[in-house]
């Protein structure tokens, strides 16, 4: 699994400007999240028992072809939001909690100092 480029992030966007490389890395993650199918896949995996879902559960939830679902899963894995494990003939997907926590921290509103 590739490391998500957010893992070294600990300050909100408002605290310091992003450099070109970091903004490009983050744009890939947000682009992956900007697709309704991928966002729905993440929600299905998160809501599934034990926080993991079999690819068969995911394909059954959509009217899309299996190759299309596989493409969306690949994109989510490439940006570090999902991980997978093969068990016999099925692949099971899990969220990467640290990746979502890092996105949340990145988007956190800065604390305002009272004047």
> What is residue 111's predicted lDDT score, i.e. its pLDDT?
63
> What is residue 100's predicted lDDT score, i.e. its pLDDT?
86
In a domain, 15, yes or no: no
* Residue range 73-100, pLDDT digits in tens: 999 999 999 999 999 999 999 999 999 8
In a domain, 3, yes or no: no
Spatial separation of the C-alpha atoms in residues 83 and 73, rounded to whole Å:
9
pTM: 0.79
In a domain, 5, yes or no: no
What are the helix (H) ranges across the chain? 20-33, 36-47, 55-60, 66-78, 97-107
> What is residue 8's predicted lDDT score, i.e. its pLDDT?
46
Q: Which domain holds residue 56?
A: 20-107
112: which DSSP letter?
Answer: P
Tell me how many domains the chain contains.
Answer: 1
Q: How many alpha carbons fall within 13 Å on the CB side of residue 86?
A: 2
In the predicted model, is pLDDT for residue 101 greater than 50?
yes
Spatial separation of the C-alpha atoms in residues 24 and 22, rounded to whole Å:
5
């Amino acid at each position: 699994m590739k490391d998500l480029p957010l893992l070294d992030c600990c300050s909100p966007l408002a605290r310091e400007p992003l450099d070109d490389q970091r903004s490009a890395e983050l744009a890939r993650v947000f682009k992956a999240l900007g697709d309704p199918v991928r966002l729905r896949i993440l929600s299905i995996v998160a809501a599934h028992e034990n926080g993991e879902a079999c690819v068969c559960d995911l394909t059954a939830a959509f009217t899309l072809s299996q190759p299309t679902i596989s493409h969306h899963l690949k994109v989510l894995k490439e940006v570090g939001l999902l991980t997978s494990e093969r068990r016999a003939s099925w692949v099971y997907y899990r969220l990467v909690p640290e990746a979502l926590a890092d996105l949340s921290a990145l988007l956190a509103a800065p604390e305002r100092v009272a004047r």
